[in-house]
Structure 1
Amino acid sequence: MLRVAVIGAGAISAAHIQAYLSFPERCRIVAVADVFPEKAEESIRRFGLQAKAVADYKELLGEGIDLVSVCTPPYTHAPITIDFLLAGTNVVVEKPMASSLQECDEMLAAAAKSGKRLSVIAQNRFRTPMMKLKQIVDEGVAGKILHAQVDSFWWRGHCYYDLWWRGTWEKEGGGCTINHAVHHIDALQWMMGMPEEVHAFMSNTAHDNAEVEDLSVAVLRFKGGALGQVTSSVVHHGEEQQIILQGADARISIPWKIKASVSKENGFPAPNPTLEQQIQALYEQLPDVEYEGHKGQIDNVLQAIENGSDLLIDGTSGRNTLEFITAIYKSASTGQSVKLPLSRNDEFYTREGIQAKATHFYEKTRSVTAFAKNDITISGQ
């Protein structure tokens, strides 16, 4: 029976707690920590946990905790994760992995030194359509991927950025690109690998209480010549989200859709129902994931601890996603194309460098500790 602690009792912690409670024979939550201890106590009451509440996570170091979920604001991810890893505890950390690539590298070094597992939340990989799309890409039945389109469309009201840690480069690490589109960017780099070059623009169009962007558009070049585009937004009504991959032989996407063409004698398209049926048959034959979302990722982490199996999303994968996002921020802030990988000497490698060099749109002038109602939406794509 693994002993688990949840660090941070904000809205996203509920997804972690519910996931752990799904596996009562394998783990038990023994502590919840939050700098506002009344929030930790409320989580314990809400979920009926036999756990203690603490204000300082450091009280739990050396307490025989097997696994922690770090559900705190992004700027705290690195120090908390490093402290627990070096104390001999496995760690699941919410997205984004950290506020800078330097912090990611420090977290990876701590994991290597301790020999403990480090996983970064990217729960959308544990959804049936996403897992099936990845497998179909790997099978190559749509042909070489020529173009990728990612629409990470969300909508958030002006007051969203009133929460004390949101809307600043220091504490949130950026805006919609790092905290909303991170899921789609993770999925894209999982399926296609990292781009070689990024050119991006970003703006703050509707949230003058935040330093950070509420809209960004990035154009990508991949090895082999494929191109891509990623739109990250919290100004899109309806919140439609999609990943479209155009292969040489067929279009495949999430939400799931297939379209395949062959060339007529004059070069114009004709339908290719045979290939469409072949790809659809493969899609239907692939197994559904056993557990979806956070529950699926927690199950994967528990298995890795229990029997030494591989993590689907480890620290290196989490770092790749942040490097992708950092390249978008660097390009949008400097007006220049950015080539990957970024070096440790890059001006955007450290948190201090990002704070100094990233475009600041407005000054954050309003701050609230919490909202009266803290319900959230989590992407299902």
Structure 2
Amino acid sequence: MLKIAIIGAGAISRAHIEAYLAFPERCTIVAVSDIYKDKAESRIAQYQLNEAKAYSDYEELLSQDIDMVSVCTPPYTHAEVTVNFLRAGKHVLVEKPMASSLEECDAMIQAADESGKLLSVVAQNRFRTPMMKLKSVLDSGLIGPVVHSQVDSFWWRGHCYYDLWWRGTWEKEGGGCTLNHAVHHIDALLWMMGRPTELLAFMSNTSHDNAEVEDLSIAILKFADGSLGQITSSVVHHGEKQQLIFQGKEARISAPWELVASSSMDNGFPTPNPTLSAEIQAYYDNLPEVAYEGHAGQIDNVFSAIENGDPLLIDGQSGRATLELILGIYKSASTENKVQFPLTADDPFYTRKGIQENVPHFYEKSSSVENFQDRSITMGSSLKKV
């Protein structure tokens, strides 16, 4: 029976708690920590965590008998909290984004390597049936080589969203929609396509004058095989319709699932290819459903890695790769130059200090609120289908 601690009792902590509660034979939550102790106590009461105790200082837990922690704190604290728990001999599941800089990512990975404990970065949308099936179809080669990939990470957030004290700042949140909303779609793109060799990006703040950071960005990617891609990251899109599209030489597939296969007529214009469409659709339909979805799926994978030595599907290197691509977008949009990968340790965008010195402040936060009323959060109207 694994003993679990939740670090940070904000809105996202609910997803972690509910996921752990799906495995009562494998784990028990023994602690919830938050700088506002009443929030930790409220979470314990809400979920009737009878074996859990509330803490205001997570450092009290470093020496306790705990096997694994979920880090659900604001992004600027991820590296410090994660490194401290890894060094204390605990496995760590850290929320997205992994950290605020590649330098911090490397420190987290080093701590995991030296401690021998597992470090996993939340990318729960990989553990959804449509996403797993999409990846399998791509890997099958049925659509041919991918020539164009498209990420539409469309969200909508009201002006008051950035009133929360740590949101909308480069120092505390680490960035805007590209880092904190599109991160899941960017992770999925890298999982399916690998890292691009270069990109060119633009970003803006169109609707939130209480935030330093962007609320819209667009990036154009080039991959080693010559294929192109595009990523739109937004918190200004009504309807929050999100999708990943892959155009292969033979067919087009996407999540949410849509399939189109074309052949060429004698004059070069398209005509449907029903034979290939049927083959791809049959392949997709025969793929298995995932056993557990979302956070529960990822926690099941981490537990299996702890219990049986199974492969960890999303590790620190994976989380770092996602952040590297995001920082490439920030670098290109900030410098108005094309960016090539990898970003090395001497790059200004490798460290938090360098990032903060080189990114634009679209606006300055003049006021903030300490806490919002505890309400449910939306996960995007189509994200669960992606």
Quickly name the TM-score band, shorter chain normalised: over 0.9
Q: Structure 1: which amino acid aligns with 2:134?
A: L
Secondary structure of the residue aligned to 1:348 is helix
Alignment partner, residue 79 of structure 1: 80
How far off its partner does 1:373 sit? 3.7
CA distance in 2, matches of 1:203, 1:366: 21
- Please give the per-residue CA displacement for 1:298-334, whole angstroms capped at 9, x wherever unaligned: 1111111111111111110000000000000000000
Residues matched between the structures, number: 381
CA distance in 1, matches of 2:265, 2:257: 26
Alignment partner, residue 28 of structure 2: 28
Equivalences for 1:1-381 in 2 at 5 Å? 1-49=1-49, 50-378=51-379, 379-380=383-384, 381=386
Secondary structure of the residue aligned to 1:5 is strand
Q: Structure 2: which amino acid aligns with 1:18?
A: E
CA distance in 2, matches of 1:355, 1:291: 39
- TM-score, structure 1 as length reference: 0.99
CA distance in 1, matches of 2:359, 2:281: 44
CA distance in 1, matches of 2:244, 2:130: 11
- Please give the per-residue CA displacement for 1:23-57, whole angstroms capped at 9, x wherever unaligned: 00000000000000000000000000020000010
Secondary structure of the residue aligned to 2:173 is coil
CA distance in 2, matches of 1:196, 1:321: 14
Q: Structure 2: which amino acid aligns with 1:365?
A: S
CA distance in 2, matches of 1:134, 1:212: 32
- Please give the per-residue CA displacement for 1:95-118, whole angstroms capped at 9, x wherever unaligned: 000000000000000000001000
- Please give the per-residue CA displacement for 1:186-239, whole angstroms capped at 9, x wherever unaligned: 000000000100100000000000000000000000111000000000000000
Q: Which moved more, 1:364-373 or 1:312-321?
A: 364-373
Q: Structure 2: which amino acid aligns with 1:223?
A: A
Q: Structure 2: which amino acid aligns with 1:8?
A: G
- TM-score, structure 2 as length reference: 0.98
Secondary structure of the residue aligned to 1:44 is helix
CA distance in 2, matches of 1:275, 1:370: 54
CA distance in 2, matches of 1:334, 1:370: 35
Secondary structure of the residue aligned to 2:185 is helix
Q: CA RMSD in A?
A: 0.6
Q: Structure 1: which amino acid aligns with 2:98?
A: M
Unpaired segments ≥5 residues, structure 1: none
Would the aligned equivalents of 2:11 and 2:374 in 1 still touch at CA under 8 Å? no
CA distance in 1, matches of 2:39, 2:182: 28
CA distance in 1, matches of 2:265, 2:367: 61
How far off its partner does 1:362 sit? 0.3
CA distance in 2, matches of 1:347, 1:368: 32
CA distance in 2, matches of 1:377, 1:82: 30
- Please give the per-residue CA displacement for 1:257-290, whole angstroms capped at 9, x wherever unaligned: 1000111111111110100000000001000001
Would the aligned equivalents of 2:165 and 2:370 in 1 still touch at CA under 8 Å? yes
CA distance in 2, matches of 1:306, 1:279: 36
Secondary structure of the residue aligned to 2:117 is coil
Q: Which moved more, 1:15-24 or 1:365-374?
A: 365-374
Would the aligned equivalents of 2:166 and 2:172 in 1 still touch at CA under 8 Å? yes
CA distance in 2, matches of 1:374, 1:234: 19
Unpaired segments ≥5 residues, structure 2: none
CA distance in 2, matches of 1:330, 1:64: 42
How far off its partner does 1:352 sit? 0.6
Q: Structure 1: which amino acid aligns with 2:331?
A: K
CA distance in 1, matches of 2:36, 2:359: 31
CA distance in 2, matches of 1:164, 1:92: 24
CA distance in 2, matches of 1:374, 1:55: 21
CA distance in 1, matches of 2:309, 2:201: 40
How far off its partner does 1:3 sit? 0.4
CA distance in 2, matches of 1:89, 1:65: 7
